[in-house]
Amino acid sequence: MGLLLLVPLLLLPGSYGLPFYNGFYYSNSANDQNLGNGHGKDLLNGVKLVVETPEETLFTYQGASVILPCRYRYEPALVSPRRVRIKWWKLSENGAPEKDVLVAIGLRHRSFGDYQGRVHLRQDKEHDVSLEIQDLRLEDYGRYGCEVIDGLEDESGLVELELRGWDCVSSHLSHMLGRQFGDRGR
């Protein structure tokens, strides 16, 4: 039955210029123009999304606040701003699944798990999507990912966070020894 309906559609004059729909719109028309980024080009053809994070490890202390820097830009620069989605996550250790920290679109954001109420985006400057973590905990040390998503294009960068100070070392050793010996004697 489906084949019988398909054949008449293929025979209609001009049907080759109609958009194809499978959840997304596509068109094979040469007259289509995408003016969304201000250059008349689409992101997959001529405009590159670049995410910048620091290469060096950041050091801080338990109980402090820290800003994990992340900025993005377009090459070439765009004339009009675009609405992007931001995702921060913490990379896992020992094969455990990664932990979502925060997602945001515009001024709307959502934080997850132990990060709720302790994280927010620093959007002080254009294209600044740095993450501020307050009241740092021992389990906050590690590697974090910052991902910027613009339509079908996405780029990410990593930030390494380490905690310093005797309290951090003794708490970490106590935590690791307790895990190794099954919390015996507590």
Residue 11 lies in a domain: no
Residue 184 lies in a domain: no
Structural domain boundaries enclosing 151: 58-164
Residue 31 lies in a domain: no
CA distance 70 to 127: 9
Q: What pLDDT score was predicted for residue 45? A: 57
Q: What pLDDT score was predicted for residue 82? A: 85
Residue 9 lies in a domain: no
Vertex 173, ends 172 and 175: CA angle to 5°?
Answer: 65
Report the CATH number at residue 141: 2.60.40.10
Vertex 166, ends 164 and 168: CA angle to 5°?
Answer: 55
pLDDT in tens, 21-43: 333 333 333 333 433 333 333 44
Q: What is the mean pLDDT of residues 166-178?
A: 50
Task: Inform me whether the pLDDT recorded for 117 exceeds 70.
Answer: yes
Residue 114 lies in a domain: yes
Residue 110 lies in a domain: yes
Residue 182 lies in a domain: no
Coil/strand/helix, residue 170: helix
Residue 79 lies in a domain: yes
pLDDT in tens, 143-170: 999 999 998 889 999 999 999 875 545 4
Q: Residue 1: CB partners within 8 Å, gap ≥ 6?
A: none
Domain count for the chain, please give it: 1
Q: What pLDDT score was predicted for residue 167? A: 53
pLDDT in tens, 43-73: 445 789 999 999 999 999 999 999 999 999 9
Q: What pLDDT score was predicted for residue 11? A: 46
Task: Inform me whether the pLDDT recorded for 93 exceeds 50.
Answer: yes
Task: Inform me whether the pLDDT recorded for 140 exceeds 60.
Answer: yes
Q: What pLDDT score was predicted for residue 149? A: 96
